[in-house]
Amino acid sequence: MEFIKRIGNSIEKHFDHNALCINNTFYTYRDFAIAVSKIRTAIIDRIADSEKIIGLVTNDDLETYASIIALWLEGKAYVPVNPSTPLERNIKIFELTETKYVIDSSETSIYNDYEVIVSTNLTDTIIDLIPKACLGDQLAYILFTSGTTGLPKGVPITFDNVGSLVNAIDAEPEFNLVASDRCLQMFELTFDFSVVTYLFPILSGACMYTIPKNAIKYFYIFKLIIEQKLTVLTMVPSIINYLRPYFSEINTPDVRYCSFGGGALHNDIAKEWSDCLPNCKIFNYYGPTEFTVYSGFYPYHKITNQKAHNGIIAIGTPHKDTTYLIVNEKNEEVSVDTTGELCLSGPQMTSGYWKNEKRNSQSFFTRSENGKEVKYYKTGDLCFKDQEGDFLYVGRADFQVKIRGYRVELAEIEFHAKTGADKKNNIVALDIYNNLGNAELGLVIESEKFDVEQLFDYMKKKMPNYMIPTHVRFVKEFPHSINGKIDRKELRKYFQHK
Amino acid sequence: MNKEEILLKVEEAFVVVLEHKNFKLTDDTTANDVDGWESITHMMIISEIEKVFNIKFKLMDLMNMNNVGDLIKTIQSEL
């Protein structure tokens, strides 16, 4: 694979540059190469060639990043699991992917039923960054997102998918990282946005700055921007929502690029943020996990480029080799300016959800174009295309919501809440907005008030932290709309007053 | 306002945001000691405290705040 060869070359070329800054400790690309090579040797020695899918516990350390590259050099895929996510959910992910081996840098690994490679305790070896030959249709990673049935949904991404993402970003003249760049890497490695925040810095020999797990994220990011003079920021919009009250104190001329993704970017805050970064290009990226992180972007500019719909910045146009199509309920293309579901086609598209035929038949369809059958992925995002060919975001077609950039199916929260409740209560999960403009989760239970500690203990065993509701309300009888459905809009009102 | 009075009001702000009272705040208390106190709720707590005391924190102070003791000192300096 061409891009893996390039990763090896870049690491070697930049041996004396910093690769990572983790909790104030710097590691050079030489340190990185040594860690990669040690882990690679352990993989060769201990994992059978036929085992292609390997678990990875995502700690915030050199070894975890090195493990990804070591696995890729050996033509294997990583399945990341976050150490702070309930063990039961992580085990479920390993079961679904039939993972037998886990690379873990934790002091004590809790994956007792698996063959664990402790990545911090390996013997020295010679540096070897030349990739083993492997086919492009082999997997590079599998990420899991919230599913509607209570089971997380796996999205497998191949080396060809990642290679196509690299080609598309390379083809974009507006965005070029260089070895002297200092880049923010604020994402959990279980979140697909992280792929662009580690891959592109490594390909250019730039340095990544991570966020320690126990830090107050927002202030730590600001500290890095100020003290380490970061030049490239990649963030979810919720970060600047929280920093907004302090914008008047922020003026950071070193930042060259600021990319947003993973949620709606609002026009008013983008303009204010842009004033804090006088020398910066702002990109509003769009793309689902199913399409290898990014599928396109809109180049925002506070004066010349601020196209928006209902205050939400445009998602612009698809990048190289990607096609956008807006369809109606029958999967037929609709005309310009008409809202429909956005569908994507191109080489970055996943081959389909992991072992989930039912879901695949709902989310993918083929269409005849110029005598060829072309496969499309249905994003669930409602959009329209304007006269100039830009795409604009309108809303969701279902009950999926974004919490701090993470995709959350409200149905999955409701499933676990109902299962965990003593009595068989009616329970509804809602996304509600706090006074800083960010979405939080609320849970409404149809019942007299009761102690929810046990229910929450249950939910915390089943779902990651970002899926646990932060507000609870009891309603004696749920309001219903005329057609008999629970009136979610009416329930939302219970969260307006404390 | 003395330190005890400040602490009492700070505790109230924590209760409003976290929706529980299962904590005791001292100078050394950090986010690791209180259930639900993490990045997001921290921002909500700060915003609530600014409202209750009618003050505005500086980003530089917030950036270097490590425990409840630091928080109270900063509030005192703003009052």
Task: Write the pLDDT tens digit of every residue in A365-382.
Answer: 999 999 999 999 999 999
Question: What's the confidence (pLDDT) of residue B73?
Answer: 93
pLDDT digits (tens, 9 = 90+) for B15-57: 999 988 999 999 999 988 998 898 888 998 999 999 999 999 9
% of chain A exceeding 70 in pLDDT: 100
Q: What are the chain B neighbours of A223 within 8 Å (beta carbons)?
A: 63
Q: Is the confidence at residue A207, as pLDDT, over 70?
A: yes
In this structure, of A77-91, A199-213, A479-493, the range with the lowest mean pLDDT score is A479-493
More confident residue, A63 or A244: A63
The alpha carbon of residue A479 is apart from the nearest alpha carbon of chain B, in Å, by 25
Question: What's the confidence (pLDDT) of residue B39?
Answer: 87
Where does residue A171 rank: exposed (0-12), middle (13-18), buried (19+ CB within 10 A)? exposed
Q: Using CB atoms, pick whichever of B31, B36, B43 lies closest to residue A218.
A: B43
Tell if the CB–CB gap between B42 and A438 is shorter than 8 Å.
no
Tell if the CB–CB gap between B47 and A438 is shorter than 8 Å.
no
How far apart, in Å, are the Cα atoms of B58 and each of A2, A226, A246, A277, B65? 48, 14, 7, 19, 11
Q: Using CB atoms, pick whichever of A217, A250, A470 lies closest to residue B39.
A: A217
Pairwise CA distance, residues A154 & A93, whole Å:
8
Q: Is the confidence at residue A80, as pLDDT, over 70?
A: yes
Tell if the CB–CB gap between B42 and A434 is shorter than 8 Å.
no
Q: Collect all residues from B whose CB is shorter than 8 A from any CB in A.
A: 16, 19, 31-32, 36, 38-44, 47, 50, 56, 58-60, 62-63, 65
Can you tell me the ipTM of this complex? 0.88
Q: Using CB atoms, pick whichever of A219, A436, A472 lies closest to residue B47.
A: A436
pLDDT digits (tens, 9 = 90+) for A32-79: 999 999 999 999 999 999 999 999 999 999 999 999 999 999 999 999
Tell me the average pLDDT across A179-199: 97
The CATH number of residue B53's host domain is 1.10.1200.10
pLDDT digits (tens, 9 = 90+) for A150-165: 889 999 999 999 999 9
Q: Using CB atoms, pick whichever of A219, A222, A435 lies closest to residue B47.
A: A435
Q: Using CB atoms, pick whichever of A216, A222, A226 lies closest to residue B39.
A: A216
Q: What are the chain A neighbours of B32 within 8 Å (beta carbons)?
A: 214
Which residue matches tokens 């219970």? A494
Give contacts of A 188-217 with B, CB under 8 A. Answer: 214-217
The alpha carbon of residue B58 is apart from the nearest alpha carbon of chain A, in Å, by 7
Residue A187: closest CA among A106, A243, A261, A123: A261
pLDDT digits (tens, 9 = 90+) for A414-469: 999 999 988 778 899 999 988 777 889 999 999 999 999 999 999 999 999 999 99
Query: CA A296, A302, A307 angle in degrees (round to 5)?
Result: 50
| A179–chain B Cβ distance below 8 A for any pair | no
| A402–chain B Cβ distance below 8 A for any pair | no
In this structure, of A181-185, A290-294, A464-468, the range with the lowest mean pLDDT score is A464-468
Pairwise CA distance, residues A63 & A34, whole Å:
10
Per-residue burial over A254-268, b if 16 or more Cβ lie within 10 Å, else e, is ebbbbbbbbbbbbbe
Query: Could you give the dihedral angle defined by the CA atoms of residues A70, A73, A79 and A80, in that order, rounded to the nearest 10 degrees?
Result: 40
pTM: 0.91
Question: What's the confidence (pLDDT) of residue A438?
Answer: 84
Domains of chain A (ranges; CATH) run 321-382 (2.30.38.10), 400-495 (3.30.300.30)
Q: What are the chain A neighbours of B19 within 8 Å (beta carbons)?
A: 470-472
The alpha carbon of residue B11 is apart from the nearest alpha carbon of chain A, in Å, by 16
Q: What is the mean pLDDT of chain A?
A: 94
How many pairs of residues across A and B have Cβ atoms under 8 Å apart?
49
Tell if the CB–CB gap between B39 and A218 is shorter than 8 Å.
yes
Q: Using CB atoms, pick whichever of B50, B56, B59 lies closest to residue A222.
A: B59
Tell if the CB–CB gap between B63 and A222 is shorter than 8 Å.
yes
Measured in degrees and rounded to the nearest 5, phi and psi for residue A229 equal 50, 60
Where does residue A435 rank: exposed (0-12), middle (13-18), buried (19+ CB within 10 A)? exposed
Q: Is the confidence at residue A498, as pLDDT, over 80?
A: no
pLDDT category at A7 given cuts 50, 70, 90 is: very high
Q: Which among A188, A211, A218 is the top mutation candidate for probing chain B, defined by the most B β-carbons within 10 Å of its own β-carbon?
A: A218
The alpha carbon of residue B2 is apart from the nearest alpha carbon of chain A, in Å, by 27
Positive or negative, the Cα torsion across A419, A424, A426, A432? Answer: negative
Query: Which amino acid, A172?
Result: E
Question: What's the confidence (pLDDT) of residue B64?
Answer: 86
**Helix segments in A129-192, DSSP class H:** 159-170
Question: What's the confidence (pLDDT) of residue A404?
Answer: 84
pLDDT category at A242 given cuts 50, 70, 90 is: confident
Query: Which amino acid, A18?
Result: N
The token pair at A194 is: 């992280």
The alpha carbon of residue B8 is apart from the nearest alpha carbon of chain A, in Å, by 19
| A498–chain B Cβ distance below 8 A for any pair | yes
More confident residue, B14 or A422: B14
Q: Give the residue on B whose Cα is nearest the Cα of A471.
A: B19
Question: What's the confidence (pLDDT) of residue B53?
Answer: 96
Question: What's the confidence (pLDDT) of residue A147?
Answer: 84
Tell me the β-bridge partners of A235: A260
The alpha carbon of residue A346 is apart from the nearest alpha carbon of chain B, in Å, by 37
Domain that holds residue B10: 3-78
| A246–chain B Cβ distance below 8 A for any pair | yes
pLDDT category at A497 given cuts 50, 70, 90 is: low
Pairwise CA distance, residues A103 & A118, whole Å:
6
In this structure, of A14-28, A239-253, A347-361, the range with the lowest mean pLDDT score is A239-253
| A223–chain B Cβ distance below 8 A for any pair | yes
Tell if the CB–CB gap between A242 and B60 is shorter than 8 Å.
no
Q: What are the chain A neighbours of B63 within 8 Å (beta carbons)?
A: 219, 222-223, 226
| A134–chain B Cβ distance below 8 A for any pair | no
| A251–chain B Cβ distance below 8 A for any pair | no
Question: What's the confidence (pLDDT) of residue A1?
Answer: 84
| Domains of chain B: total | 1
pLDDT digits (tens, 9 = 90+) for A393-407: 999 888 889 898 888
